[in-house]
Chains A and B, each alone.
Chain A
């Protein structure tokens, strides 16, 4: 886990533990995490790749602007994981190329 446990000024109140899945693999975060903070805490650095040159992209602006953290969450493509709260049982996946849409008709 890559979390700051002791900080000289701040104290952290953690909520309950939440289980989620990254690329099918079981991971744990805390209530109050965003998807991105939970991923970072679990050692996941690469969230997606750039569209043209396929370079790795990871945690960057942290305010939902830069599209560096877009991932597929529970089948929905292009979710801004840095501003989306983590929920129990979420399935988080890297987008291959551009996000794919699904339909039910």
Chain B
């Protein structure tokens, strides 16, 4: 006989882990986290782990400011070894390849300064002085924010889950939710291979798998899986501190603490799917070729470096590239946190916390109610200019 819970969180990626912890911290009630595999088995575990506040709208910069503050104090708040969470604030260096692109970056920086994110605007000469290893052919300028960086997506998620467990939450791995159970206009639990588990509130934080779960109970959300590939090289001595990205060339690359260079470039026409049965997560030579030719223009020092691993992951994309957060009011007790669109890890700590505040009826640290699921039908999309991919 399965126990009944106050909250069932579906999905143990960064989003589910943060919501579960923040609910437990608020003594919201009994909490069960379910994952069809194990924590970080989906998009969180395949992500590049970047964290940046260099966005172009007040909304995203404000949320990322909260996330940065969270990341900076996470080891204390979650009582977890700092070296495992692995926050490294080497900054993000955003390169501009045209005057128009640079003007957009300058506009973003004006927004960032207003929120208290102290991004610098650099000339190519200044970039060359600080990072002489980069080749800057065609670069007209750049922006750099020193507090941006990366953290370990695995340990960060584990830290949240361990902290949630200490506060009484339970985790069940390898327990797929086959169907959300409803009675009339209310969710009452989830069906699993071990039988039904009942709960009055369900938070769907299942990334790209959220769409199918909701569709099966008649809720349509514009959220799909988009395949993005990534690779990492053999470890080398520490050499390059910032994450280097370009919006126009659609790439990112950084050196991980152990020395390997991790990098990605967006496909011209990414494969995408709504139904998990169609997913194809195989690596392709097309990516390898595009990645190598793109990165060698900026980082020619990588030419003799061996690649040790290549893999793919699914961005949980939405129409306007923002999360879907909040109550799905077609059913009482049904909540969603998914659709990070390639930024789920970095936004996780802020958006997950704010959703927990929303659920328990607290004042929100920042108003994210416009990320509700109805915005697509109402034509109220949330637009962000600064995205890779």
**Residue positions of A touching B, CB distance < 8 A:** 51, 67, 76-78, 97-103, 105
Contact = CB atoms under 8 A, between A and B. Distances in A.
Nearest to A73: B304
Contacts of B305: 78, 101
A98 B236 contact: yes
A36 B121 CA distance: 49
Interface in B120-148: 128, 132-135
Contact of B133 (A51, A78, A105): A105
Contacts of A105: 128, 132-135, 300
B135 A97 contact: no
Given A103-B132, A105-B133, 4 more contacts: A99-B236, A99-B237, A101-B239, A101-B305
A98 B306 contact: no
A11 B302 CA distance: 42
A100 B306 contact: no
A101 B237 contact: yes
A64 to B, nearest CB: 10
B132 A78 contact: no
A99 B235 CA distance: 8
B301 interface: yes
A98 B135 CA distance: 23
Interface in B202-258: 234-237, 239
A97 B237 CA distance: 7
Contact of A98 (B134, B237, B300, B302): B237
A101 B234 CA distance: 12
Main secondary structure of the interface of B (DSSP, over half): loop
A76 B301 CA distance: 10
Interface in B94-138: 128, 132-135
B45 interface: no
B259 interface: yes
A85 to B, nearest CB: 16
Contacts of A100: 236-237, 239
Nearest to A75: B304
A77 B306 CA distance: 10
A105 B234 CA distance: 23
A67 B305 CA distance: 13
B71 to A, nearest CB: 26
Given A78-B234, A98-B235, A98-B237, A103 B259 contact: no
B133 A98 contact: no
27 contacts: A51-B235, A67-B234, A77-B236, A78-B234, A78-B305, A97-B237, A98-B236, A98-B237, A98-B259, A100-B236, A100-B237, A100-B239, A101-B133, A101-B236, A101-B237, A101-B239, A101-B302, A101-B305, A102-B301, A103-B132, A103-B133, A103-B300, A105-B128, A105-B132, A105-B133, A105-B135, A105-B300
B308 to A, nearest CB: 9
B373 to A, nearest CB: 47
A12 B259 CA distance: 42
A4 B81 CA distance: 53
Given A98-B235, A98-B236, A101-B301, A78 B306 contact: yes
A99 to B, nearest CB: 5
